[in-house]
Amino acid sequence: MHPRRLFVVSLALAIPAMAAQADPLTPEDAAKHVGEKATVCGVVAAAKYAAQTGGRPTFIDFGKPYPDTIFTALILGTDRPKFGTPEKTVPGKEVCVTGEIRLYNGKPEIILTDPKQLVAK
């Protein structure tokens, strides 16, 4: 392969990796990055397993507890067994979550499907 072409291919592969390594966002900044894959770090204000709700979700609220949460990480019931009991282990801790930021009812959130997306500091 021509050295210039090899450089261009290497650069094309490195740029997405560099973007994934970007500085983490605060929960307050997450809404400015809807549609992007990012890491959001902050203190967990509250976490709740809604076992009686459809889909049996687990909500991890950053900044303030629901209904005033600034940012939420959501674990659906089908993925919950992979995560253990985060509603008991993460409140009050600084946590980073990684994934695509989306809006739900006007609030930013990341849906977690893999425990590697959730890292306690």
Given a cut of 90, is residue 15 above it in pLDDT?
no
Mean pLDDT in residue range 73-92: 97
Distances (CA, A) of 17 to 11, 20, 21, 36, 50: 10, 5, 6, 14, 35
Given a cut of 80, is residue 5 above it in pLDDT?
no
- Note if the pTM is more than 0.85: no
Residue 73's Cβ-side half-sphere holds a number of Cα atoms within 13 Å equal to: 35
Residue showing tokens 């940012």: 71
CATH code: domain 24-120 is: 2.40.50.140
Q: Residues 118, 97: contact at Cβ < 8 Å?
A: yes
Given a cut of 80, is residue 3 above it in pLDDT?
no
Residue 40's Cβ-side half-sphere holds a number of Cα atoms within 13 Å equal to: 31
H or E segment and range at residue 32: none
Question: What does DSSP assign to residue 91?
Answer: T
Given a cut of 50, is residue 68 above it in pLDDT?
yes
